[in-house]
Amino acid sequence: MTGRGRSTSPRRQPGHSRQASNDDNISDTRQIEAFGRTVQATASQLIFPGNDQHGTDPYKSALTSVQRQLRRPLIQRSVFSFTQQSPRELLRGKFSTSEVEHRALSYIPQELIRTAPAGQSPFSLFEGFKASLPDTEDDGRGGRRKRHGRNGSKLLEGPQEHKGPPQLVKMKRERDKLDHRLEMMGIRKTMCASEIREIDTKIANMNTMRRVVLERLAGLEQEEHDMEVEIGDLAERVAEMQEMLEDEEALAKQSPSLIAEGEAERRAADKKLETEEDDEEAEADMDASFMSESIYGKLPKAQESPRSKAKRRMPKRTISMPVLHEHMEPGTKIRELQAHNDVITAMDFDAPFGTLVTAALDDTVRVWDLNAGRCMGMLEGHLSSVRCLQVEENLVATGSMDASIRLWDLGQADYNPAQAAASNNITDKSSEAEDAEADKGSDAALFTPAASVADLASQPPPQGDAMADCHLFTLSAHVAEITALNFRGNTLVSGSADKTLRQWDLEKGRCIQTLDVLWAAAQAQTTTVNTSAAATPASESGGWWKSGAGRLRGSAEAAEQAEADFVGAVQVFDAALACGTADGMVRLWDLRSGQVHRSLVGHTGPVTSLQFDDVFLVTGSRDRSIRIWDLRTGTIHDAFAYDQPISSMQFDARRIVAAAGEDVVKVYDKADGRQWDCGAGVLAATAETTSRPSVVERVRIKDGYLVEGRRDGVVGVWSC
Amino acid sequence: MGSLPYAADAESPLKPAELQVLRAQYEKEGPYISLQTKFNYSWGLIKSSSRPDQQEGVLLLSDIFKTSPERRRECLYYLALGNYKLGNYAEARRYNDSLLELESGNLQAQSLGQLIDEKVSREGMVGMAIVGGVAAAVAVGVGMLVRGAQRKR
């Protein structure tokens, strides 16, 4: 009877099938199950007639109930679906695992199907297939065709006399074949072009995604920085608490009568601590209340406790590493600061988005927070302008024209970012508007607005006493201006216009060694076999400094304020010292012996910048060239020429950057060997504005984070 | 849309050497495979007479469908043809009908629709005949049992 049920329906209503099949995928199984249940019920009634109440006609009643079921539209639809699917397919779909897997993998959701756009390419994929397929056959035959041709031609030569037309026919056929192939080529070209278009749209989508994720990264970095500040604060508080407790214990050991006093005061201090905000005045009060005169005098650690006055340590990025600049397009501007109003003479920073110290001819040294773009304070103490400086984590060494070197510890600074933010809020809106116009890249929105020229004038001097406690000590043994310095670990080496290099121990603050460059140069010349140098050693050594200065005085570049420094650049590493001098020589010293063990000859002008790593030594000089020396052999590895004298150069793992007397920074990528320009001048060149940015004087780079200092006192930060 | 293959085209398998060439091209291109190569290989697979190959061809085609939106309408047709050859008539009908909804004037899609109907009804008939015959046999057998039980009483 089930067979009867099935056989009637498709004949009766063939038209329904198409409409019904569309949405019966879900109702399928349910109705089939229901159908199956009724079948079971009728079968059981047939086989066990004894259970039936009606007694006489279980068969008829079963049949009628089945027919009633069948007439229901849902059941009919499910039966129709049987017809759509064909039983073999059904079985396969339900029971064969590979089949089920395959269907799952190749399943395409209805949404995608419905929204399929009309194809815009003139050729279908199938035509492309046909176009490519004959080629494969031809290629297979192509190689053989020549042989065929040869054999064929031999064959043809024989009957050539009496079989003209077949040869013509054959040639015509070949021509047609080639025409066909040409057509196919056209089709394949169009296919490739349409593919390229699709890939382009995909790339555009990916770029938008990249921008979104980059913004997210920027937000996270900002949060990270804020969190580090908080952690620093809390760590300080913990340390303070611990000190207080320890002092308490020490007190307790000494005299029990003072315990009660101390405890009372501590309770008062605790109450104050609980109620206080991040306020310096409250902490000052606490100091006064806790350490009254009597207790102060009796504390065993009296020398150290004054230091425990609450100091807001500058948050140092010990755990998190800012990597935002690595993901930006090379050459994007990160920030621009009007650091000074005069030529920047020296500049250095400790880490990307960290602390920047700049010095200019206006005799000031400013400390900047690169993350927020704000001036944190000034390092005061030098009597004259600073010519060289270096920043290494919290330590800053500055060498100035007053022949002294000062060491500063930025960790002692009293920088309160919250206060600085409050003072900057007034000017933020104006600077935001300016930045929105000025900045072309979309990365402008990622960063807090940089302090513009207006800011410098309007904002109050950023906590004049912020850096007051930073100064550690002064090294003053030189007798002329310090022109170059470099320190590493506990050793600092400085070069000065008094033609000496001095080595200092930073722990003790004393000069360990003095190296006389002229004497060493004379020594080297008398011992070398070089005839031209040995000819007139005295006049050479005396004359070459004068001639250097004379060359510069005679030059028409009156704007060049820095004369050729006797010692243009130094770098120290353990016991190895490299110095570049005004005679264009680079001398490698051994600090243990105090002798020059190698001189690198090559530059024809004073050396202004120098840096070495374990393999190469790179020097930049006023002879408009940068030279790369191989330290193992002492010979030149590579050299680059520029249009103007190089005033500053530095390299990191990937690139060498140089300030070559232009308004852009010259970047050489060691990986691709490519030279390109980075900086404000690039944008100005393309935008053709009338006001060009001024010449770059100093550059510093670390991990792709490039800082440049210009002649008008503007400092630009770029991703390189 | 350009010319689409008739169903008969899918029935003629390629020579194994040709298929091998297509496979080599497909594998040579590595991760940055071009659309045409992928299609060529999958179409070659669909044309073959072994079922696993046909299944792989359909898989590749559905991949093409998902990755390149421009080619989706054609892919519907190829997928319908591939599934028709595999015997998954429900899927084939789904794709074909969707294609006809989008492009009602497509001759190949219409002819494919007719082919699918014919195949399904034929198989359905065969299946029904078998099932009907089995059911009839079961009914007869059960009837005999019942009569036998009644007679025993």
**Residue A659 structure tokens:** 């300030």
Asked if A11 is an interface residue toward chain B (Cβ–Cβ < 8 A), one would say no
| Cα separations in angstroms, A216 against A323, A373, A446 | 13, 20, 9
Q: Identify the residue with better confidence: A562 or B138.
A: B138
**Strand-strand pairing, A655-659 and A648-651:** antiparallel
- Candidates A124, A144, A185: best to mutate against B (most CBs of B within 10 A) is A124
pLDDT at A242: 95
How far separated are the first and last CA of chain A, in Å rounded? Answer: 83
Q: Identify the residue with better confidence: A520 or B137.
A: B137
Q: Quote the DSSP letter at residue A646.
A: -
* pLDDT tens readout for residues A104-126: 887 888 887 777 777 777 777 88
Q: Quote the DSSP letter at residue A666.
A: E
Question: Which of A77-91, A443-457, A575-589, A625-639 has the weakest average pLDDT?
Answer: A443-457
Q: Which of A720, A658, A670, A668 is nearest to A695 (CA)?
A: A658
Sorting pLDDT into bands at 50, 70 and 90, what band is A177? very high
Q: Which of B41, B18, B84 is nearest to A128 (CA)?
A: B41
pLDDT at A388: 92
Asked if A121 is an interface residue toward chain B (Cβ–Cβ < 8 A), one would say yes
If you measure CA to CA, which chain B residue comes closest to A123?
Answer: B2
* pLDDT tens readout for residues A195-227: 888 889 889 999 999 999 999 999 999 899 899
**Residue A147 structure tokens:** 């042989």
Question: What single string gives the DSSP state of each residue in chain B?
Answer: ------HHHHHSPPPHHHHHHHHHHHHHTTTS--HHHHHHHHHHHHHSS-HHHHHHHHHHHHHHHHH-GGGHHHHHHHHHHHHHHHT-HHHHHHHHHHHHHH-TT-HHHHHHHHHHHHHHHHHHHHHHHHHHHHHHHHHHHHHHHHHHHHHH-
Bridge partners of A579, per DSSP, are A570, A587
pLDDT at A460: 39
Nearest to A120 among B70, B120, B124 (CB): B70
Q: What is the mean pLDDT of chain B?
A: 87
- The pLDDT of residue A485 is above 80: yes
**Residue B18 structure tokens:** 């040709």
Q: How far is CA A260 from the centre of its chain?
A: 57
* pLDDT tens readout for residues A374-424: 888 888 888 999 999 999 988 999 999 999 999 999 888 776 655 544 444
Separation CA A467–CA A446 (nearest Å): 29
Question: Which of A207-216, A254-263, A514-523 has the weakest average pLDDT?
Answer: A254-263
Nearest to B59 among A3, A105, A194 (CB): A105
| Chain B stretch 24-43, residues whose beta carbon is closer than 8 A to a beta carbon of chain A | 34-36, 39-40, 43
Separation CA A546–CA B70 (nearest Å): 75
| Cα separations in angstroms, A278 against A223, A241, A284, A366 | 19, 16, 12, 25
> Which residues 6+ apart lie within 8 Å of A421 measured at CB?
A372
- Candidates B72, B77, B122: best to mutate against A (most CBs of A within 10 A) is B72
> Which residues 6+ apart lie within 8 Å of A506 measured at CB?
A407, A487, A489, A490, A491, A492
- The pLDDT of residue A468 is above 80: no
Nearest to A127 among B3, B21, B90 (CB): B3
Instruction: Report helix, strand or coil for A236.
Output: helix
Question: What single string gives the DSSP state of each residue in A587-642?
Answer: EEEETTTTEEEEEE---SS-EEEEEE-SSEEEEEETTSEEEEEETTTTEEEEEEE-
- The pLDDT of residue A533 is above 50: no
* pLDDT tens readout for residues A608-628: 999 999 899 999 999 999 999
- The pLDDT of residue A259 is above 90: no
Instruction: Report helix, strand or coil for A461.
Output: coil
Sorting pLDDT into bands at 50, 70 and 90, what band is A243? very high
Instruction: Let me know the angle formed at the C-alpha of B86 by B83 and B92, rounded to the nearest 5 degrees.
Output: 20
pLDDT at A322: 76
Radius of gyration of chain B (CA): 22
* pLDDT tens readout for residues B72-84: 888 888 999 999 8
* pLDDT tens readout for residues A323-377: 788 788 888 888 888 888 889 999 999 988 889 999 999 889 999 988 888 888 8
- The pLDDT of residue A133 is above 60: yes
Asked if A200 is an interface residue toward chain B (Cβ–Cβ < 8 A), one would say no
Q: Which of A230, A253, A250, A231 is nearest to A242 (CA)?
A: A250
Sorting pLDDT into bands at 50, 70 and 90, what band is A164? low
Q: Render the burial of B99-127: b for 16+ CB within 10 Å, e for the rest.
A: bbebbeebebbeebbebbbeebbebbeeb
- The pLDDT of residue A447 is above 60: no
Separation CA A384–CA A399 (nearest Å): 10
| Chain B stretch 88-147, residues whose beta carbon is closer than 8 A to a beta carbon of chain A | 88-91, 93-95, 97-98, 102-103, 119-121, 123-124, 127-128, 130-133, 135-136, 139, 142, 145-146
| Chain A stretch 13-72, residues whose beta carbon is closer than 8 A to a beta carbon of chain B | 18, 21-22, 43, 46-47, 49
Q: Identify the residue with better confidence: B145 or A684.
A: B145
Q: Identify the residue with better confidence: A524 or B50.
A: B50
- Cβ contact A335:A717 at 8 Å: yes
| Upper half-sphere CA count for residue A638 (Cβ side, 13 Å) | 9
Separation CA A479–CA A184 (nearest Å): 84
- The pLDDT of residue A453 is above 60: no
Question: Which of A166-180, A309-323, A470-484 has the weakest average pLDDT?
Answer: A309-323
pLDDT at A464: 56
Q: Which of A90, A16, A92, A82 is nearest to B124 (CA)?
A: A82
pLDDT at A450: 40
Q: Identify the residue with better confidence: B11 or A49.
A: B11
| Cα separations in angstroms, A591 against A405, A428, A501, B109 | 20, 51, 11, 87
pLDDT at A150: 43
- Candidates B22, B89, B101: best to mutate against A (most CBs of A within 10 A) is B89
Chain A residues lying within 8 Å of B39, measured CB to CB: 125, 128-129
pLDDT at A541: 43
Q: What is the mean pLDDT of residues B22-38?
A: 86
Q: What is the mean pLDDT of chain A?
A: 74
Sorting pLDDT into bands at 50, 70 and 90, what band is B136? very high
pLDDT at A549: 44
| Upper half-sphere CA count for residue B100 (Cβ side, 13 Å) | 16
Q: How far is CA A250 from the centre of its chain?
A: 50
* pLDDT tens readout for residues A18-27: 444 444 455 5
pLDDT at A131: 77
**Residue A671 structure tokens:** 């990986």
Q: Which of A301, A284, A474 is nearest to A379 (CA)?
A: A474
Separation CA A397–CA A381 (nearest Å): 12
Q: What is the mean pLDDT of residues A439-447?
A: 39
- Cβ contact B125:A124 at 8 Å: no
Separation CA A314–CA A231 (nearest Å): 11
Sorting pLDDT into bands at 50, 70 and 90, what band is A544? very low
- The pLDDT of residue A182 is above 60: yes
Number of Cβ pairs < 8 A linking chain A and chain B: 172
Asked if A193 is an interface residue toward chain B (Cβ–Cβ < 8 A), one would say no
Separation CA B2–CA A628 (nearest Å): 61
Separation CA A464–CA A468 (nearest Å): 8
- Cβ contact A652:A704 at 8 Å: yes
Q: Which of A508, A511, A483 is nearest to A496 (CA)?
A: A483
